[in-house]
Amino acid sequence: MCGFVCLWNVGDEALAAAMIEKIAHRGPDAVAVTRAPHAPVVMAHCRLSIIGPQDGAQPIHQGDDILVVNGEIYNHVDLRAVLGESVFETQSDSETILHLSRTASRRWVSRLDGMFAFVLATRGRILAGRDPLGIKPLYVARLGGGLAFASELKAFDGLAVSDIEAIPPGSLFDSNGDMRRWFRMPQGAAEAETGLDEQATWRELRLVLEDAVKKWMVADVEVGAFLSGGLDSSIIAALAARAAPARLKTFSVGLEGSPDLVAARRVAAHIGSAHFEHAFTPDDVARVLPHVIYHLESADVDLVRSAVPTHFAAALARRHVKAVLTGEGADELFAGYTYHHAYVDRPRALADELTRSLATMHNINLQRVDRITMAESLEARTPFLDRDLITFAQSIPASLKMRRTDPSAAESTGPTTEKWILRKACQDLLPHDLVWRKKAQFDEGSGTVDALREALMIMEGAKEPLDRAAEGAVYERLLRARYRDPERVLANAGKWESDRVALAV
**CA 52/CA 220 separation, integer angstroms:** 7
| Res 442: pLDDT | 57
pLDDT band at 55 (very low <50, low <70, confident <90, very high): low
* CATH number among 3.40.50.10490, 3.60.20.10, 3.20.20.140, 3.40.50.150, domain 2-181: 3.60.20.10
Give percent above pLDDT 70 in the chain: 96
DSSP bridge pairs for 161: 143
**CA 280/CA 270 separation, integer angstroms:** 24
Q: How far is CA 402 from the centre of its chain?
A: 24
What CATH topology corresponds to 198-281+301-443?
A: Rossmann fold (3.40.50)
CB 402 within 8 A of CB 418: yes
Annotated binding site for ATP: 253
Query: Is residue 426 among the annotated active site residues?
Result: no
* Catalytic-role residue among 2, 6, 46, 426: 2
- For 412-471, write each residue's pLDDT tens digit: 567 899 999 999 999 999 999 999 877 665 556 788 999 999 999 999 999 999 999 999
Annotated binding site: 93, 253
| Res 505: pLDDT | 53
Q: Where do the structural domains in the chain lie, given as residue ranges? A: 2-181, 198-281+301-443
| Res 462: pLDDT | 93
**Which residues, in sequence order, are CB contacts of 376 under 8 Å at separation 6+?**
25, 311, 314, 315, 317, 318
- For 257-287, write each residue's pLDDT tens digit: 998 999 999 999 999 999 999 999 999 999 9
Selected residue with higher pLDDT from 498 and 199:
199
| Res 122: pLDDT | 85
**Which residues, in sequence order, are CB contacts of 437 under 8 Å at separation 6+?**
230, 231, 263
For residue 98, how many C-alpha atoms fall within 13 Å in the half-sphere facing its CB? Answer: 22
> Is the pLDDT reported for residue 359 higher than 60?
yes
Please state the pTM of the whole predicted model: 0.95
| Res 413: pLDDT | 63
**CA 256/CA 494 separation, integer angstroms:** 32
Cα four-point dihedral sign 103, 105, 106, 111: negative
